[in-house]
Amino acid sequence: MQRTRAVWWRGVWPHGLVCGLLMTVLALFLRRWDAPVPLAAAVFCSPYCAVPGYLLARHFGVGVGVMTAAITAATGHVIVFAATVGYAAATQPWPKPWDWGLMGLLSLAVTFMLGMFFGRLGAALVRPPDVTLPPIR
């Protein structure tokens, strides 16, 4: 139980908050696009998830690295969509914030899987231990 809590915590702090801030800043610059900007920001910033995937796979194994990277992507996704809902609530009429919140909820699984993918790529960079095979007789 303690290890699971540590994985969740490392996925949220500091990597998840950094990822969310990167996504929010990118969404701020892309706000004139026609595409759903927070979703585009989540997809563009998902390669960042290779960093926690690598860092934690180096010490705790590939599974922990992949899960932490997925939690990092999900945390960043929630942050960027919460910022979008807040911005829409302040500047747009009533149904628009609801639409953004629903879109964020429905696209969370896609961002989670992208985080897992890039976390696995980061974990693949960890050098495997040297294993010497016995000689063939």
> What confidence score (pLDDT) does residue 76 get?
95
Token output for 16: 């998840």
pTM of the predicted structure, to 2 decimals? 0.86
On whether residue 135 sits in a domain, the answer given is no
Asked whether residue 2 carries a pLDDT value surpassing 80, the answer given is: no
Instruction: Tell me the pLDDT tens digit for each residue of 60-118.
Output: 888 889 999 999 999 999 999 999 999 999 998 889 899 999 999 999 999 999 999 99
Instruction: Tell me the pLDDT tens digit for each residue of 18-47.
Output: 999 999 999 988 887 767 899 999 999 999
Q: How many domains does the chain have?
A: 1
Q: Which domain holds residue 12?
A: 2-124
On whether residue 101 sits in a domain, the answer given is yes
